[in-house]
Each structure stands twice: as C-alpha cells, then as structure tokens.
Amino acid sequence: QMQLQESGPTLVKPSETLSLTCIVSGGSINTYYWGWIRQPPGKGLEWIGIIHLSGTTYYNPSLKSRVTISQDMSKNQFSLKLTSVTAADTAVYYCGRRIPVAGGWFDPWGQGTLVTVSS
C-alpha cells in the first residue's frame, strides 16, 4: 500500500524559504503526477502545484512566482520550495498523488505537516 510522508522544518522565519519533501513508499514516483496542497488553520484547501513524471510542472497562478516543485526519482521523493514566506503561508501542507484517469483524483495523501511562519 502506497504511503506518503511530508518532512521538513515546521517553523520558518518571514522572508525565508519553506522547503518540504514528500517521501513515497510502497510504490514508485515514476508514474502519474505528484502534488502539493495546503490548508491554513481553520480554512479550506488550496492547490499549490503538481509535477508530472516527465518533469513538467503546473502551479497555482497565485503562488507561481514563489513556488518550485521538483522530484528525485533516485530517492523516490518530490519536494516543494516556497520563497519569501509570510504569515499567510502558515498552513498544513499535504502531498498527494494525482491519478489522471477518468478525470482524475488525488489519492493517497500524506498525513500533512503544519508549517508556521513566525520570527
């Protein structure tokens, strides 16, 4: 059974770069799409972006200038970098797999990691 686990610092200072990694077990990332979603405390879900096995990326236009998603096939993981963070970037960050069949869906998801932006 495939499992995803987010890892990285849980506290980031304003103006710095948020960096998270999603470690995939029970399957290869050399398939489909892999993405990031976030959820500010008490709020709804926001799609951040996605990377295809080819390396092609798609980002939310609202974050595009600050986001980079990359993948490391040799380590079976993919990563998120978000630059110039502010308090508004405080959120639970989830990684997930997108299967683009019959319209597609996200499954499975990681358990999520709360990243707080504060000095």
Partner 1 sequence: DIQLTQSPSFLSASVGDRVTITCRASQGINSYLAWYQQKPGKAPRLLIYAASTLQSGVPSRFSGSGSGTEFTLTISSLQPEDFATYYCQQLYSYPLTFGGGTQVEIK
Q: Which residues bind partner 1 (CB under 8 A)?
A: 35, 37, 44-47, 50, 58-62, 94, 98, 100, 102-107, 109-112
Nearer to partner 1, 61 or 74 (CB): 61
Least Å from the CB of residue 32 to partner 1: 12
CA dist 68 → 20, 26, 42, 118 (Å)? 11, 25, 26, 21
Nearer to partner 1, 57 or 83 (CB): 57
**In angstroms, rounded to a whole number, what is the distance separating the alpha carbons of residues 67 and 20?**
12
Nearer to partner 1, 16 or 47 (CB): 47
Least Å from the CB of residue 8 to partner 1: 16
Least Å from the CB of residue 94 to partner 1: 6
Q: What share of the chain is helix, strand, coil (3-state, %, to 5)?
A: 5, 55, 40
Of 25, 41, 43, 42, the closest CA to residue 95 belongs to 25
